[in-house]
């Protein structure tokens, strides 16, 4: 049995989960998410929790078992609590600000960088260089935060660039002075 797949998914109050025509739909206070699933996976609703099962013991089916259990769990968490990633912008003159549905960043290049914020994602900037990306879809939040980080990767000598809040950058020693 799959170690992840056998754990039941807890459904908090106010969240509705439906499975019909190969699509699982989760609706909660923050929004609505839907995801297609493979027909070899079964879902059993037991009131406050959902048990994910499988029809056979093939290797691909066992992989789907854990995958769809985690996707369902992330959807339930997203519509009830939401997801967020924090980025820290470090560097002299580096800054970011939200202008409507556009994130404007000054990252040391000759021109400012403007990034469109996708639907379903909220971005909040703080004056100390912190940018928080939040939303109900875990994949979209992680993908957008990754795209922002790629605009100016942190460098190992002075630590300038964009990094995740919990990320540690290994610093290198610079050149030694002439003797």
Q: What are the pLDDT tens digits along the chain (179 aa)?
A: 568 888 999 999 999 999 999 999 999 999 999 999 999 999 999 989 999 999 999 999 999 999 999 999 999 999 999 999 999 999 999 999 999 999 999 999 999 999 999 999 999 999 999 999 999 999 999 999 999 999 999 999 998 999 999 999 999 988 876 66
Whether 73 maps to a domain, the answer reads yes
Which residue, chain included where needed, has tokens 């605009």? Answer: 151
159 vs 86: CA distance, rounded Å: 17
Q: What is the CATH number of the domain that holds 87?
A: 3.90.930.12
- Could you tell me the two tokens for 36? 């297609």
The answer to whether 65 and 54 are in contact (CB under 8 A) is yes
Longest dimension (CA), the chain: 75
* Strands 95-99 and 121-125, bridge-based pairing: unpaired
Q: What strands lie across the sheet with 49-54, from one edge to the other?
A: 9-10, 49-54, 41-45
How many domains does one find in the chain? 2
Based on the fold, state whether residues 75 and 94 are members of the same structural domain: no
Enclosing domain of residue 23: 9-80
Q: Is residue 103 part of a domain?
A: yes
The DSSP secondary-structure symbol of 138 reads H
Report the C-alpha gap between 69 and 53 in whole angstroms: 9
Between CA 40 and CA 42 the distance in angstroms is: 7
Question: Is residue 43 domain-shared with residue 112, that is, in the same domain?
Answer: no
Q: What is the pTM of this model?
A: 0.90
Residue 179 lies in a domain: no
Could you tell me if 87 and 151 lie in one domain? yes
Q: Do 55 and 98 fall within a single domain?
A: no
Where b means 16+ CB within 10 Å and e means fewer, 133-142 reads bebbbbebbe
Q: Is residue 139 part of a domain?
A: yes
- For residue 153, the tally of other CB atoms under 10 A from its CB is 12
């Amino acid at each position: 049995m799959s170690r992840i797949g056998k754990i039941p998914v807890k459904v908090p109050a106010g969240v509705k989960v439906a499975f019909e025509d190969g699509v699982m739909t989760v609706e909660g206070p923050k929004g609505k998410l839907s995801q297609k699933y493979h027909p070899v996976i079964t879902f059993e609703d037991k009131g406050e929790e959902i048990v994910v099962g499988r029809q056979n013991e093939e290797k691909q089916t066992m992989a789907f078992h854990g995958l769809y259990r985690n996707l369902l769990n992330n959807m339930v968490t997203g519509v009830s609590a939401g997801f967020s990633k924090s980025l820290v912008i470090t560097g002299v003159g580096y800054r970011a600000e939200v202008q409507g549905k556009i994130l404007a960043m000054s990252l040391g290049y000759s021109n400012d960088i403007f990034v469109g914020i996708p639907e379903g994602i909220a971005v909040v900037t703080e004056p100390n260089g912190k940018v928080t990306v939040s939303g109900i879809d875990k994949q979209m939040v992680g993908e957008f935060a990754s795209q922002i980080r790629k605009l100016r990767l942190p460098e190992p000598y002075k630590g300038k660039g964009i990094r995740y809040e919990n990320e540690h950058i290994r610093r290198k020693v610079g050149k030694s002075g002439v003797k």
